[in-house]
Amino acid sequence: MQTHLPTLRQLRYLVALAEHRHFGRAAEACSATQSTLSAGLQELETLLGTTLVERTKRRVLVTPLGEAVVARAREVLRGAEDITDMVRAAGRPLAGPLRLGVIPTIAPFLLPSALPALRRTFPDLKLVLREDLTARLLERLARGELDTALLALPYDAPDMEMLTLARDPFVLACRPDDPLAARADISGGDLAASHLLLLEEGHCLREHALAACSLASTNRGEDVMGTSLGTLVQMVASGLGVTLLPRLAVTAGILRGTDLVTRPLAGDGARFLGLVWRKSSPRAKEFGLLGRALFEGLDQS
C-alpha cells in the first residue's frame, strides 16, 4: 500500500508561515503566490488529518501540534539541503551559494581585504553575508538559515563543529597623555585602576577582552558602554577612559584620524577567530578551504 507523505514544498510553506506569521510575506519568501501557498498548506493539513494553522483576519496562529511539526519540518528541510550540498561539494568545492554569518567585531576589519582574494580563488562562489551578534548567528545556524559562521572563540556551542583559524591579540588603546601610555606593556592590575570602556552586553568580545587581562566582568565600565568598536574609540579619544581592541581592528585602521596610541598586554592575551557549523553538515572540507582563504596573509604572530 502506498503511503502518502508530505512534500518538501509543503513543509517549506509551513515553516515560512511559522516564521513570518503572514501569508503574503511567507509566500514571497517561498517565491510563490499567496493562493499557491495557502493551497499547499491545506493539502498538508488534509494529508495529516489535523489543523496546523489557525487563520483569522488579523493574524496567523500555529497550533501547538503545528509548532511540533514545524520543528521536525526544519530538520527534514536541513537534511534535504545537506544532500544537495554534499553532491555539490563532491563535484566542485566552494561553488554556488554559501550563507556566511559574521560578528560585527570581525566583519568590517577582515572582509574588505579578504573577499577580493576569495573571489579570485573561487570565482563561482556566491557568498551571502549576514552580520549579527554571536547568539543570534548560532540560532540562525541551528535553524538552517546559515551554512557557517565566522565567530570569536572560545564560545560555548556544544552542538557545533569549530575550526580555529587565527589568533587575534588584544591591545590597550589610550590617549597619549594617559599614564598607561608611558608603560611598555599593560597588566590586569593596571587596568583595574583605570576606567576601562567595554562593549555592551551581548558582544562576546566584551568577555574575551576581560579574560585576556584576567578581570571580572562585574562593575567594569557599566556606566559607559559602547555599541561598536568605533564608538569605543571615539569615547577614548574624548577622554572618557581606555579600552581594549583586537589587533585585527587596529591593523585595519580603526584608529585612523585619532591620536590614540596602543600598548600590548602583559601575557599577550588574545581571542581566537574561527568558523563554526552544524555537526550534521557535510561541508566540513569546504569550510576548511573557506577559512584558509579568508585568513590567508593575515599576520597571526
pLDDT at position 1: 39
Give the 3-state secondary structure of 188-250.
HHHHHCCCEEEECCCCHHHHHHHHHCCCCCCCCCCCCEECCHHHHHHHHHCCCCEEEEEHHHH
The two domains 8-86 and 93-301 share their CATH topology (first three levels equal): no
CB 172 within 8 A of CB 182: no
Taking the C-alpha atoms of residue 200 and residue 160, their distance in angstroms, rounded to an integer, is 25
Contact call for residues 16 and 144 (beta carbons, < 8 A): no
Question: 93-97, 215-219, 226-230: lowest mean pLDDT where?
Answer: 215-219
> Grid coordinates in use for 17?
508561515
Q: What is the mean pLDDT of residues 256-271?
A: 92
pLDDT of residue 301: 47
Q: Is the pLDDT of residue 41 over 80?
A: yes
* CATH class of the structural domain 93-301: alpha beta
Per residue in 61-112, pLDDT (tens digit) is 899 899 999 988 988 888 787 777 666 665 677 888 899 999 999 999 999 9
> What percent of the chain shows pLDDT beyond 70?
92
What pLDDT is attached to residue 215? 74
| pLDDT at residue 140 is higher than 60 | yes
Question: Can you tell me the distance from the alpha carbon of 112 to that of 110, in angstroms, rounded to the nearest whole number?
Answer: 6
**Once rounded to an integer, what is the mean pLDDT over residues 266-285?**
90
| Domain formed by 8-86, architecture | Orthogonal Bundle (1.10)
Phi/psi at 275 (nearest 5 deg)? -100, 145
C-alpha cell at 237: 579619544
Boundaries of every domain in the chain: 8-86, 93-301
Name the residue with higher pLDDT: 301 or 26: 26
Q: To which residue does cell 569605543 refer? A: 232
pLDDT at 213: 78
Burial of 76 (0-12, 13-18, 19+ CB in 10 A): middle
Half-sphere exposure of 88 (CA within 13 A, CB side): 18
**Residue found by looking up cell 581566537 in the block:** 272
pTM for the full model? 0.72
Q: How far apart are CA 198 and CA 172, in angstroms?
A: 12
Band the pLDDT of 221: cuts 50, 70, 90. Answer: very low
Q: Which range is least confidently modeled, 162-176, 223-237, 262-276?
A: 223-237
Interhelix angle 34-48/8-20, nearest 10 degrees: 110
CA 208 to chain centre: 16
What are the DSSP calls for 16-58, one per residue? HHHHH-SHHHHHHHTTS-HHHHHHHHHHHHHHHTS--EEE-SS
22: pLDDT strictly greater than 80? yes
Report whether 186 contacts 266 (CB < 8 A).
Answer: yes
Q: What is the pLDDT of residue 190?
A: 85
Secondary structure class of 115 (helix, strand, coil):
helix
What is the per-residue pLDDT across 234-261, written as a single tens digit (0 to 9) for each?
999 999 999 999 999 999 999 999 999 9
Listed residue (272, 255, 270, 267) closest to 185, CA to CA: 267
**Cα 39 to Cα 287: distance, rounded to the nearest angstrom:** 39
pLDDT of residue 219: 47
What distance in Å separates the CA atoms of residue 106 and residue 183, rounded to the nearest whole number? Answer: 28
Contact 130, 102 (CB under 8 A): yes
Q: What average pLDDT is seen over the chain? A: 88
Instruction: Specify the pLDDT at position 297.
Output: 61
Which H helix or E strand runs over 278?
A: strand 270-278
